[in-house]
Structures are given as C-alpha cells and as structure tokens.
Chains A and B, each alone.
Chain A
Amino acid sequence: MSVKLVDVTKVFTDHDDRQKEFTAVSHVNIEIEEGEMVTFLGPSGCGKTTTLRIISGFETQTSGDVFIDGELVNDLPANKRNTSMVFQSYAIFPHLSVSQNIGFGLELKGMKKDAIKIEVDKIMEVMGLTSLGNRRPSQLSGGQQQRVALARAIVNKPRVLLFDEPLSNLDAKLREQMRIEIRRIQQQFGITSIYVTHDQSEAMTVSDRIMVMDKGEIKQLGTPFEIYSRPSNRFVADFIGRANFIEGLVCGLQDAVSIQVGKTVLRFPSFNPDVEEGKIGIVVIRPEGLVLGKTSSSAFFNGTVSHAVYLGSSMEYEISVDGREDPIIAVSNNPVKEGFFHVGDPVGISFDPVSAHVISGS
C-alpha cells in the first residue's frame, strides 16, 4: 500500500465569523496501490487540493491518519516526506538554470556533483529537455517549464508524485499532448501518483482510478469506466459528462432491475446495490446511448426537437418531451448516416437498456 488515508478530516474556521466552521475534507478514506495513478476530481472548493496538500504535508489534517508506504507520517514535516509535487504554477526557481532546478533536490540530499549531473542528464533526455540545461526559466515556453517541473519532481525518485492541476496554465492543444506524456512517464517509472484536476477528460486520460469529490466528501472512487458508465449517485452522473435522468418506481429486483416509467416497465441489467424495491429508481442514460427515429407508439419518449447543434463529427439535440421538465439530450455520432433532425421536428426516442444504469432515487 503506497498511500493510505484513514478518516482524514480538515476543518477550517471561518475567517469572518469564528463561530462558523468550514469542512474542507470530510472523513476521506482511500488506499492507493504501488504504481497506481489516482485522480482527485471535483468542482472547485470540493477539497481535492486540500487533500493533496495534506498528503504532501503542507496542510495538517484536523483528524485522521496519513500513511505513506505503511509509515504514519502525521507528524512528519513536508520536507521529510519524500513526496514530490508538480505545482500549478510550476514553481520553478527563477534564479537557477534548468539543470540547477532539476538537481535541487539531489543537491539537498548531499549527492556528489558528478552523480547529480548524470541523474539530471538522464532525466532531461527522457523529458526531451536535452540542450536546455543552461537556460534560465524565463527563457522557456510554458510546455518546457512544465517538463522541467516534472523532471525536478521525478529525479528525486519520490515515494509519491503529486500533481496539483499541472496543466491548467497551458493552452488546449498542449494540454492534451502533455497529459498523454505525463501518463507515459508515470507508467515508465512506475511512480505512485496522485493527480488533482477539475477537468474530467484529463482525469479520464491519465488515471487508473478516479476519486470524485464534492463538498469534502468522496462521491465515488472507481475506474474511469465505473465513474462514467456506472455512477454511484446523481452527483457523479451529472458531474462527469452529460446524462439524462429518468425517474421511475422500482417494481422488481433480481438479476436485473425493473423500473416502471409511466405505464411501461423496463428491465435494466446494470444497477447500484442501494436500489431498493418499492422505491424510486433513476435511470441514467448518456446522450450517445439514445436512438432517435420517427415518432411511434413503440418509442420510449415522443417529443419535439427544440435545439439542434451541428458539431461536424456529431449532432447534438435537445428534445422537449411532454410531462418532463428537463429536455432530453441526445447525440448522434454519425449524423450523415443516421439522418438529421431539425428544430420543430417530431422525434421518437428509444434506447437499449444495456447502455443505461440505474441509481437509487433517495
């Protein structure tokens, strides 16, 4: 077990009103395996960065325990934890050259100059920084600074590598490129890593597992597939990607769950363990799981197209359905083949229950 958080809680006292307290992190439990990359994902203010800073030692938890490699590190200051952080602002020392920056940690360990040089050169080659060794940080592009920050963190062979929204200062294209590279290097070195982001596609790309957080609590911990296709609750389903929610009464529960919506009863093979018979269940169906066609009595919903957006590779629709407050969102991924619908067109919506997932309504 590389990193283990046991019931970690962090309470900040409100600055203006000392009676008020703000729980940034609430009873977080997680075990991260050796060599695994876990992403903390959530909206801003959800406690993901605070959790990361508790692991690094920059923040002290109000209660709970932090273990790194089985060692209890609650009382170990940040500089003795052998974790390495890649900062959002890169935090490259502006008065040192690239190679001095990368060698900083090794120098502090008391390593000999020649040995440092060998290590630094090696990592610079891996990171594609060769020939930039004598540059000043101010002479580097954003992407290069990012690589220096990563190289400086990795070269120390930390027990855990921590990423604090490392790509948020890069432009969109570079961001996509860098996240693949970060994943490649993490796997190449097999370093246990924790990655904080609010960007879900980034989380999907880099992670073995994703921990979705909201208001200081873990909402779900699972693989990217589980998070997207088998969300534990409405928050996760709503936060990750887009989803349609269809409420109904759970009227049967065996291998599959039976849900009654209006007069129709449908059977869904995938459902959460907390779904109970006789209570409300919510069918979560992603836009790309819906099939659009002509209106018919066999369609699940019949409605009218209220918005249609052409995105080139796909067509996005909003369909208003009588008796539903929220419109149904649908995506057609091959519009040329599947045909176009226009605003005002009547449309029938159906789907295969295999592509849906049922969560508890309470």
Chain B
Amino acid sequence: MRRPARVCAALVPLDMGMSGSDWNVHWKKTRGTMKRFHFTDQWKDMKKLSGDPLLLCVIVVLLLSLIMFIIYPLLRVCIVSFQVDGHFSLKNFRDALTYSNGYYLKALWNSLWMGVATAVLGTFVAFVFAYSLTRANIPGKKFFNVIATIPIISPPFIGALAIVMLFGRNGFISSTLLGMRNANAYGAKGLLFAQVLTFFPVAYITLRGVLESISPTLEDAAMDLGGNRFTIFRKVTLPLAIPGIASSMLVLFVESLADFGNPLVLAGAQFPILSVQAYLEITGMGNFAKGAALAFILLVPSVSVYMLQKYWVSKKQYVTVTGKPTQSTNNVVSPTARWILFAVSCLIASVVILVYASIIWGAFAKSWGNSYEVTFDNFKYVFRVGFESVLDTLTIAGISTPISGIIGMMIAFLVVRKRFIGRRFMEFSSMLSFAVPGTVIGIGYILAFNHAPFYLTGTLAILLLNFIFRYIPVGIQGGVAVLNQIDPSIEEAAVDLGADSNVTFRKVTLPLMIPAFFSGLIFAFVRSMTAISAAIFLVSAKWKFMTVQIMSQVESGRIGAAAAFSLILVGIILIAMAVIKLILRLKYQTTSSILSG
C-alpha cells in the first residue's frame, strides 16, 4: 500500500523521497492539481533551483542541447519538406507521391506492409522461442538464449548479407548446391527473412521478460481448477502475455520501418522501400526538398506507433517486467508439445547459425560462389582498404558512448528525482530518438548543420553529436531502471543523517547507479558500432564508418570482404563487451549485461 505521505511528497518541492514508480504515480495523479498550483509550484521549483546554481546550469545546458541536436534537425526536416521558395507549400509531397507513376507511394506501401509482416512474424518466432525457454523446460536453454541474442550485437544488415551469400545469384544454396542460374534473393521475401532475423531478438527479450514475470503458480492454479494444458495456455498464459505481444509487435513495426541496412542490400529497384528511397533522393539526386518530404512521410507512422506503444500499450501490462524470474517447476507443457517446441527452437537456432556460419565461411573463402578455398585474402584486403575506417569508427564510438551514457544517467536522475520547468519536455525529447528512424535523423542533421552558423558537415563533430544524442535513451533507460530499484528511503536516510542533496547524490545515488551505467555503456557501444542509417549521411572522406564501408563493399560485389569486415566488427564488439564486463565483475561484483537480461 502506498502511503499518501509519499505520493504527495513532491507537492512540496522536495527533491528526495520518490522512487521512479512513485514518480510515475505521482506524475499521473498530479496532472489534476497542476493547474491550480501551477504557478506557485513552478515558482517554488525555480526558487529552489536558484539556490543550487550548478544544478540549474546543468538543466539549462541539457535542455538547450536537446533542442539543438534532437528537436532542431527534425524541425528542419519539417520546414524543408513543407516549403518551396520560402513559402509554405505541399508541392514537395505532391511531387514525391506522384513521382514516376507513384513509385514512392509504392515505397510507402511496401515499407508499411513489410513493417506489419515483420512485426507479426518476428513476434511469433520470438514468442515460440521465449515460451519454449521459459515454460517448456527444453534442453539447452542457455544455448538457445545466446543464439537469440547474437543478432543484437551484429550489424543490422548481417541477415541481408547472408541471404545474398546463400540464395543470391552466386549463392551457396541456390547456385552451388541447387545449380540455379539466375536465383533472385532480392525483393520482399528476402527482405522479410532478413528483417525477422534481425529484429526477432528484440521481441524475444521483451517477451521472455513478460513470460518470466507471469508467475507459474497462476498456471498451477488453473491446472488445479481442472483446466487442461491447452485451455490454460489459451485462457491464462496467452491473455496475460497479450499486452507484451502487442507491445513487441509495435516495436518491431517501428524497427522495420526504420531499417536501412537490410533494404539497401535487398530491396532493389523492383521493391522500393521508403528509407532507402529517401537516402537515394538526397545522396543520389541531391534533391533535399523531396528527400525531406519522404523522410517526413516515414516519420509520421514511426512516431505515432511509438507513442501508441509507449503511452498506451506499455501501460496495460498486467505484470512488471522487472523482478526476479520465477523458476517454473510446473509441467504446464505436455511432453509432446515440449518436443515440438524443442524442434521448432532448433529450427530457428539452425537458421541463425546458418547465417553466421556463412558469414564466417564467406570471410575466409577465396571467392564466394566460385571457390571456397580458405584464405586470409579478404582480411588482408580489409586491412589495406579499411583499417582507417576501423580506427575512425572506434574513435567515434569510443568518444560518443561514454558521453552519451553520462548524459543519459543525468537526464534519468533529473527526470525521476527533480522537479523543474521543462522536465517533461526533457523526458519526451530525449526519448524521441528511439522513435525517429535513423534516416530521418541523418537527413535532419544534413539539413540543420550544412550552413552557417552551424557548418558541421563532414566533421568529426557532426558524427559525434549525432551518436551522442541518438543513444541517450539507452542510458536513460538504465538509469531509470536503477532509480526505480533504489528505495527512496535510502536517499531519505542519507538526508536524515545530515547529507544535503549534493552529498546524497555523490555518496549514495551515484555509486548505486554506476553498475547500470557500465552495462548501459555496452548496449550504447554496440548500437553505435553497428549503426548505419544516420551515419551514412554524415560520413565523409575524412571520417569513415565501418558499417558504411561494409555496405559499399556489398554494393560493389565484394561479398567476401564485406563478410570479413563484418566479422572484425563483431569481434571488436565482443572484445569491448568482455572488457566492460570484466571491469564490472572486478570492481562492482556484478555481472549484469544485456545478454543476461
């Protein structure tokens, strides 16, 4: 039970004493009172902040940077797309949608239905996997868990690359094994496969959390009341998981819509995809207005579905995703079903393994499709041509990740524990980059920072800024999760013992947040290293990015080099993860990482 005392703690602008969950409750409940106490409250907040100039400074700087590097570029996309010769006009949209007999209209349609298909299929695969692992007690759970999380740490176009290698014109299965001459892996089917492979792990992690948090005792109770196994699944397990399923479908839809790497390789001219077309419009034809219009069209469904997920579906979850997973001891799955689920899981796992095996093999094969002789030629080639891009990428990810993590933690702390004008704006804008497709961000950055006073095109700064602000949400999520777990009375205890809010943060809150900071760092690093959609707009002759280089190898048909390059990228990520995990284990005695949860 929540005591009224705590829920109300913040009417008095008290900076301690509310956990994140309390804060949520408070936030929801206070909206009503806001109008009446609006001015007095805000005035009190400001008065309190003015007594803490350092805090005030931090808040102002953060708000300004969020406006500058997240809101402003998006605003530029809107302005440019709705403007012709300095006047408001819908001409760009009209042009875009009527271009070449509705070619872009087709692209929009393709993107949308590909999004729906990926969402449904990806969630289904993920659910089968998650259900098998949490409920059916199949053998080799650890192995399957690792399999499902591998795609998360790989560049997002690995699936596409593997498809080309297996089913393309020179594909191992299509050409070498089956002897087909003109196999075509491009188009809808190949892209769907690649996207499901790339994104089902995201859904898997969500659904595993949801299923784990459904107490097996509920199923035991249903069985006890005389339900047979199928009825239990239909009437208890599935209904409880529905909000999680809905949520993961919406997330996959947004991911698929934003995906750039896979469609760039696989979509082709016959099957246009919006994100790729927007890119081609800008870099290929230099038509910024039309590109911006396409980006805007892409932005609308992404952001609306994301909002739906965040503010509606995710609130409907019956059970929290956090908390200790309960070990299932019941036998709610019949032996037959168990073996069927095991077989399906094996099938999914073998597809994943096949994909990665072909990448590894391709990296060492002399000439994929013609000669499978093992050589190091590809690696030699990559080091000769791409070594510089490896260094650049490491520099960019290495600098931006920690900064992004620190800003994320700071925002998490401010948003959860402090009261100030613009707090909700801070929360909203910083989480926005999760919703906005990278392509749109990339176009926004080009439009925003291509002329005085912000002439940043081609510099290291534009890449860094983009990465820092793009991966802030990762740090925020980690920070909020930890703050939710810190009992507010722990901070109260410190205040009670004589600490002011500064000392409390330094000596109590911060040390408790550090392990989460490092595990957030892993995730942000992985995402920075594997990013492509925004980066492809911002790289230059001076600053190269590995994923973009891999893409250009694929485009020029050097599949082996692309595979070797990808392998090096994954290798770097694995090493970085190991190092951070080692630090965590040695220094903070925790093993938390994205792979364990």
Contacts and interface: CB of A to CB of B under 8 A. Distances in A.
Interface of A: 12-18, 22, 24, 44-45, 49-50, 53, 56, 58-60, 77-80, 82-85, 87-89, 91-95, 104-105, 108-109, 152, 156
A87 B492 contact: yes
Interface stretch (B11-19, B387-395, B550-558, B574-582): B11-19
Contact of A105 (B14, B26, B497): B497
Contacts of B374: none
Interface in B482-517: 487, 489-490, 492-500, 503, 507-508, 511-512
B453 interface: no
A84 B496 contact: yes
8 contacts: A15-B32, A59-B14, A85-B493, A91-B490, A91-B493, A104-B494, A152-B497, A156-B497
A24 B4 contact: yes
Contacts of B9: 58-59
B496 A108 contact: no
B4 A78 contact: no
A22 B496 CA distance: 27
B542 interface: no
B36 A59 contact: no
Contact of A18 (B3, B32, B495, B500): B32
Contact of B511 (A12, A49, A95): A95
Contacts, number: 106
Given A91-B493, A93-B494, A109-B498, A12 B36 contact: no
Nearest to A82: B498
Interface in B1-55: 1, 3-5, 7-9, 11-12, 14, 16-17, 26, 29-30, 32-33, 35-37
Contacts of B11: 12-13
Contacts of A77: 495, 500
Given A17-B32, A49-B3, A105-B497, 12 more contacts: A14-B33, A16-B32, A18-B35, A50-B4, A58-B495, A78-B492, A82-B498, A87-B489, A91-B492, A93-B493, A108-B503, A152-B497
Contacts of A95: 508, 511-512
Nearest to B26: A15
A95 B508 CA distance: 8
A34 to B, nearest CB: 21
B29 A16 contact: yes
Contacts of B37: 13
Contact of A108 (B14, B487, B490, B499): B499
B50 to A, nearest CB: 16
A95 B491 CA distance: 13
A45 B5 CA distance: 9
Nearest to B501: A79
Which 8 residue pairs are nearest across A and B when measured between Cβ atoms?
A15-B29, A105-B497, A91-B493, A91-B489, A87-B489, A108-B498, A12-B8, A50-B5
B3 to A, nearest CB: 6
Contact of B496 (A18, A24, A78, A93): A78
Interface of B: 1, 3-5, 7-9, 11-12, 14, 16-17, 26, 29-30, 32-33, 35-37, 487, 489-490, 492-500, 503, 507-508, 511-512
Nearest to B514: A95
State the majority secondary structure of interface residues on B: helix
Contacts of B3: 44-45, 49-50
Q: Which of A53, A85, A95 has the most CB of B within 10 A?
A: A95
A80 B501 CA distance: 12
A219 to B, nearest CB: 19
A57 to B, nearest CB: 8
A156 B269 CA distance: 75
Q: Name, among A56, A85, A109, the residue most crowded by chain B CB atoms within 10 Å (CB to CB).
A: A85
A60 B17 CA distance: 13
Contacts of A156: 497-498
A85 B7 CA distance: 19
A88 B1 CA distance: 13
Given A58-B17, A59-B12, A18 B492 contact: no
Contacts of B36: 13, 18
A83 to B, nearest CB: 7
Nearest to B512: A95
A86 B240 CA distance: 39
A247 B316 CA distance: 53
Pick the most buried of A13, A56, A82, A156: most chain B CB atoms within 10 A of its CB.
Answer: A13
Contacts of B508: 93, 95
A79 B493 contact: no
A152 B492 CA distance: 13
Contacts of B497: 79, 84, 104-105, 108, 152, 156
A15 B500 contact: no
A100 to B, nearest CB: 10
Nearest to A83: B496
B5 A24 contact: yes
A154 to B, nearest CB: 12
Nearest to A52: B5
Nearest to B31: A15
Contact of A79 (B7, B12, B499): B499
Nearest to B29: A15
A13 B37 CA distance: 10
B349 to A, nearest CB: 36
A184 B247 CA distance: 55
A302 B236 CA distance: 55
Given A17-B32, A50-B4, A104-B494, A89 B489 contact: yes
A60 B493 contact: no
Contact of B489 (A15, A59, A84, A88): A88
